[in-house]
Amino acid sequence: MMPAETQVTDPAEAEWVELAHLEDVRVGEVAPPHRVTTIGADRLQAAIRSALGDIEIPLGIADICPDPLVFALAAGLPRLTNFAQSIDGGSTWCDRAPIGEEPFYAVSEVAQIAQRTTSDGRRLVRVNYQTRFTNTSGALVGTATGSSIHIGSIE
């Protein structure tokens, strides 16, 4: 067995290393708050009711924000640009309270930037964008998180 200081780590097992910023993207950067309506989700519910009958379908954050990455970028947050490839890295939604008729507000932020090296030596960067939705009283209604994956820096 090799001494610990000379062991070679397999790049495929490389850990994600968190970064405070990369290019013009900074962890903690917040987009201006904006008012959110349920108009699009209301149309979806009307279409479902016309097909299935008069059934009650509660709204969720995924109905209001079907693509959290696109939502955060549309809110004004920056995306990394100096990479050979950029892809959507997945989304999650968390409902905290029922969505009612009243308007609510969304604030998007860069929640995390992390990088690692792939098994073939390419740079891989993940940026997580999180949006918090609150009602007019400021109570949390839910969150949506979208990830952006960037592969191989452009030289």
CATH number at residue 136: 3.10.129
Instruction: Give the Cα separation of 50 and 73 in Å (integer).
Output: 33
For residue range 57-112, list pLDDT tens digits in order: 778 899 889 999 999 999 999 999 999 999 999 999 999 998 877 888 999 999 99
Higher local confidence (pLDDT), 2 or 54: 54
Whether 58 is in a domain gets the answer no
- What pLDDT does 13 receive? 56
Whether 43 is in a domain gets the answer no
The domain tally of the chain equals: 1
Whether 46 is in a domain gets the answer no
Residue 126: both structure tokens together: 């993940």
Q: pTM of the predicted model, to two decimals? A: 0.83
Torsion of CA 109, 18, 84, 66, to 10 degrees: -30
Whether 79 is in a domain gets the answer yes
Domain limits for position 90? 14-37+65-153
Q: Residue range 122-143: average pLDDT? A: 95
